[in-house]
Structure formats: C-alpha cells, structure tokens
Chains A and B, each alone.
Chain A
Amino acid sequence: MLVFVLFGVTLCTFFMSHVIPGDPAQMMAGPHASADTIRSIRRQLGLDRPLWVQYGTYLWGLLHGDLGVSIRTQQPVIHDLAAFFPATLELVLYAFLLAIVTGIPLGVLAAVKRNTVWDYAARVVSLGGVSVPVFWSGLVLILLFYARLGWLPASGRLDPSLPPPPTITGLYTVDSALTGYWADFFNSLWHLVLPAVTLSYVQLSIIVRQVRSSMLEVLGKEFILTGRANGLGRGFLIVRYALRNALVPTITVIGLSIGSLLGGAVVTETVFDWPGMGNYVVQSIASLDFPAIMGFTVVIGAAYVLINLVVDLLHYALDPQIRR
C-alpha cells in the first residue's frame, strides 16, 4: 500500500515539477552567470540527462533512504526535513487535538440541542471554518490578539531570549516538560495558541458538521428509545449509546480531513513564521528546489498512508461488525 502510494506520489510530483517553467541551475547561478557556468551546474545536478533517467535515479535513491541534496541549502534533504519536521508535528498535533476536543462536544451539543441557539451557534462556527481561508483567519487572529490586544505572540516557536530545551523528541512542549524547562514549556505553549487555533479551525468545522449529522441520525434510532424505555439516563444514552455509534462514520471523516490539516499547515507556518516543513517547502518552491519539494511530498504522502492505517485500526476497534 505504502509503496504504491509513494510511487504514484513521486511520479506525479516529479514530472509536474520538471514540466513547469524555470531552471534551478539558472536560479543557483544567479542572473548574471555565463551559459557555461549554468551548463556545468546542470551537469552537476544531473539535469542534462533524460527525465526518466533522472526519475529512475531518484527512485533508486529513495529506496536507500536518500532523498537527494537540496539545491538551496546544499544539505541532504532528509537532514533538512528532520530538522523542520518536529515543529510541524507539534503544530499539527496541537491543532488536531484542539479540533477533536472542541469539535466533538460542539457537534454533540448541536445535535442534542437541535434547533436552539446552541445549534445555530455551532452552525455559524462551522460554516466559517469551511468558507474562510486559513491565511485570512490567521491574519485576523494576529491583528486582534497580537497587534491590537497584545495578548499572544504571533511568530516563532519560542521567545528569542529563551534557550530552546534539550532535544529529545523535538517537540518543545514535550521536551521542556520532560527536562523541567518550565519557562520554555509555558512560552512554547503560548506561541502555539494562535497558529494551532488557526490551523484547527477548518478541521474543527468539518468535525462539528459530521458529529452533528451522525448524532442526529443515531439519536433517531429505535435502540435509543429502548434505552429510554429501560430507564437509562439521558447523558448515558447520549455518550455510550449515541456518540459511540456516531463515532464510526466520524472517524473516517476526521482521517480524511487530516489532509486539510497538513495542507493548512503550509499556509499557517508561513503566516506565523513557524519554522516547520511547510515554511521550508514554500521557500523551496520559490527557488525551484526539486529535491526538497519531492522530499516534502514523500513525507506527506507517507503520513497520509499512515493516518489511513490508523483510521482502519480505529474502525476495527469501534465497529464490532468489522471485528467479527
């Protein structure tokens, strides 16, 4: 599965990125370089060979865990990605948790208090999430909470005055908590608030909508009535009977929506100057750094496959019909 997806992903990205106009050798050499210099750089990068040979070479490298060398940073792409990956992971993780922790209760509330103020409020919130672009909501939040109120920082992972915590996982909040760098812990958490809220908003909306509609469906089922007729309490029925069943379709949607989370991370990192993979790839795209772009795509593709695997496993755990 993973192999097929990665093959497809690399194939598409490779040819697309080579078909688009622009010459990385020209970019590297600068605007005033001679034709000879450019030609030698092209040879050095292997860009003079036929496209399919280049692709074959790339795949061969990929099989050996070699993602090539970044044209822009002159570092192995895998090192670059490893350096930027933890920041992205931390951001995405917090955004994801935030979306779930607020999205599911909000969806349940909207379904249970259907056609009340709660329901309408949830609908407005989720409508905003699916229709407002991330860069815009990010800027509005910065404008309000950083520029106007000055409550929250708007860029970076940590105040420049603080030394980063010792690296264990690369996630500042985790590392600082593990090593007792509490100033770092609170400061990095503080820095996470705005980007995580911005990034989670889209997914939160998707979750609210999905939970609401599947809760409404399940709440209309007869076994809820049986539960009531047997004297079971409302809260118990909502959580253990209704939500438990509503989670099965919800998890599929959450899994699929992680895609929007990863895509949103690129934009969010740019808006909040977050030193993650998204920021890295935007700069790589600007300088036509093919190996870096490819490396990012491969990592995201692999993450997607992994997420789908987790979704399948969760289905297995939640739906007895699949288990038996």
Chain B
Amino acid sequence: MTESVLQVEELTLSFRTAAGLIRVLRGVSFDIRAGELVGLVGESGSGKSVTAQAVARLLPEETTVVESGRILFAGRDVCTMTEAEMREIRGRRIGYVFQEPMTALNPAMTVGDQLMHVIRHHHGCSRREARQRVQRALEEVLIHQPDLVARQYPFELSGGMRQRIVIALAMSANPALLIADEPTTALDVTVQAEILKLILRLARQHGTAVLFITHDLGVVSQICERMVVLYAGEVVERGPVREILRHPNHPYTRALLRAVPDVARRGEPLQAIPGELPDLRHLPPGCVFAPRCVHRMERCDTRPPLRGSGDTAVACWWSGQEVPNR
C-alpha cells in the first residue's frame, strides 16, 4: 500500500453563526494515496466543498471552528500550522480548482500576468524564465496559441478556456495534491469532457493525487478510483468506485445511483430521492439518512458507525445483511 498524501481523520467542524455553532462536518474520515484519484460525492449542502476548503484551510478563520479530528497532509496536521506554513503549502503542494471559472480569475489582469505572479511566487525565478514557464504551463493545458492567450483578459476567454487557465495556475508548482471542486459543473457538456480528460492526463503525467468533488456519479465512474459519499456532513459510504457502483451498500448511495440518468435505461422514470437534506441544526438522533430512507427500521434511531474492511466502509445497520430489494 502506498503512502497517503492526505488523511482526514474524524474531522468535526462547525461554523460560528448568529444562531450559534452549526456543525457542518461530523467525524469525516478518508484518505488519498499518492497519485490516486478520489471522488467526494454528495448533494449540494452535504459538506463536500467545506471539506475541501478545510484541507487547504481556505475557510474564514474567524467563523470556522475545528472541534476535533486532524487533517494530515504529508504527515503534518494542516489545522495546527501557522498561516506562513500554510502559504508554503497552498498552491505549491496543494493545487485548487474552483467550480466557477467565470469568477475565479482576476478580471483586471491578463491571464499571462496572473500565471506569472503565481509562478514567480512558487519558483522565485526571473521574469524571463517565468515567461517561459507561463508559456509551458499554457501549452500543458492544451492552449494552442499561448502567446496570444497570455495577453488576454479573462472576460475575453470562454468558460472552458478560463477553466484551463485555472488548472494551469493550480498545476503550476506541480503539487502533490490537486483539489478539484466541481470543476466541470459550470461548463457545457462537450467542454466538460475535455476538462475531465485534461485533469486526468495531468494527474497521471505528474503523479498528482486528486480529490475530485462532484455530485455527478457519471464523472466519478469515469475518472476516479475510489469514492467517498458524504451526506449531511457525514461519510455514509466509501470504497473503490467499481465495487460501489456495482454493489452500493448504503441506501443513500443506491438512491443516488437510481437518480442518475442512464442512456441504457431509456424510458424508465428517474427516481428522485424523497425529502430533503436535514436541517444541520436539528439532526435526527440516529442515522442522518433515516428520515428519507425506505429501509428504515427501529435500530436506525441510534447512530450507525462507519464499519468495513480494507478500503470499503459503510455507515448503515443493514450492511452485511440482505436488504429487502425495493
């Protein structure tokens, strides 16, 4: 087994709000090994982005409270690092790609200059050398006229092009971990495929581990090796993508899979998951998914632990038993 790049251990995190502390992550655990692509899956509001931003410590310090747990990056706890140490890691060791390429770039600076600043910050090189690196970085993300594009402002570029620039920025220091927070959600389907391919190719080429955040199981099945399913701030299931897709153990994962449109099942109605995410301030006492679960039983009023062997784990009392097929 290769060494973990990132280990999130029992992370419990709250936001300070006017209405008091709201616990948005509860005991989240997973790990990513070097060069591995891991999908973090869940509905909007399940805590995916919070988890990712906590890893790069991008959450607003004044309102974020890490109650317990650790985030080990290359063996060191991110939560206890100083801001100066964090700056050495951000961008340099952990790259970050955001969802919205339209707003992720500085509108008043050419993309070449933005790349230049980041590259000079990381490599401390001369202007001349940085310019060459900008060129190479743009070529890496398959931009065909790097000289021309470098002189353009973000508003002159398409969404797909901008996302390439954001990826070029994130990969410019050859990080050990790339966090991609729904990088294709805001893009056209054809562009999505290109961006996915690009991320996959860059990760393979540089041996970069990727934490891929998405609500799209199709995307996960295409590029990820393992996946973590998050629901209302808790990990409900995790394991190798193939196994989970073939044999999902948690009722939530199963419901998610049934809600994915599939060309092969044309004509069959899609099944939406009844109900909605629970209010994080008033969580059910037991299993967080119980109120929406079709297999709910009495035992579900106590919290099911995340149990499993090896890479696979499920937080459901039904796991290991034959679930009535519904």
Contacts and interface: CB of A to CB of B under 8 A. Distances in A.
Given A229-B58, A231-B121, A232-B91, A319 B108 contact: yes
Given A230-B90, A230-B96, A233-B87, A223 B106 contact: yes
B109 A244 contact: yes
Contacts of A231: 87-92, 118, 121-122, 173
Interface string B108-146: 111000000110011000000000000000000000000
Interface string B146-190: 000000010110000000001001101100000000000000000
B108 A226 contact: no
A245 B92 CA distance: 26
Nearest to A229: B96
Contacts of B95: 229-230
B169 A230 contact: yes
Contacts of B156: 324
B168 to A, nearest CB: 11
A222 B90 contact: no
Given A231-B87, A231-B90, A223 B121 contact: no
A222 B91 contact: no
B222 interface: no
B11 interface: no
A32 B155 CA distance: 74
A119 to B, nearest CB: 13
A226 B90 contact: no
A245 B107 contact: yes
A321 B56 CA distance: 32
A222 B98 contact: yes
A178 interface: no
B193 interface: no
Contact of A228 (B90, B109, B122, B155): B90
A226 B105 contact: yes
Contacts of B98: 222, 225-226, 229
B104 interface: yes
A31 interface: no
A223 B96 CA distance: 12
B104 A222 contact: yes
A221 interface: yes
B119 to A, nearest CB: 10
Given A232-B118, A232-B121, A223 B90 contact: no
A272 to B, nearest CB: 40
A229 B91 contact: yes
24 contacts: A223-B107, A226-B104, A226-B105, A226-B166, A226-B169, A229-B56, A229-B58, A229-B90, A229-B91, A230-B170, A231-B88, A231-B89, A231-B90, A231-B92, A231-B173, A232-B91, A232-B118, A236-B117, A245-B106, A245-B107, A248-B108, A319-B108, A320-B110, A321-B153
Given A228-B90, A232-B117, A233-B121, 17 more contacts: A223-B107, A225-B98, A229-B58, A229-B96, A229-B170, A230-B95, A230-B121, A230-B169, A231-B91, A231-B118, A231-B122, A244-B106, A318-B108, A320-B110, A320-B155, A321-B107, A324-B156
Interface of B: 56, 58, 87-92, 94-96, 98, 100, 103-110, 117-118, 121-122, 153, 155-156, 166, 169-170, 172-173
Interface of A: 221-223, 225-233, 236, 240-241, 244-245, 248, 318-321, 324
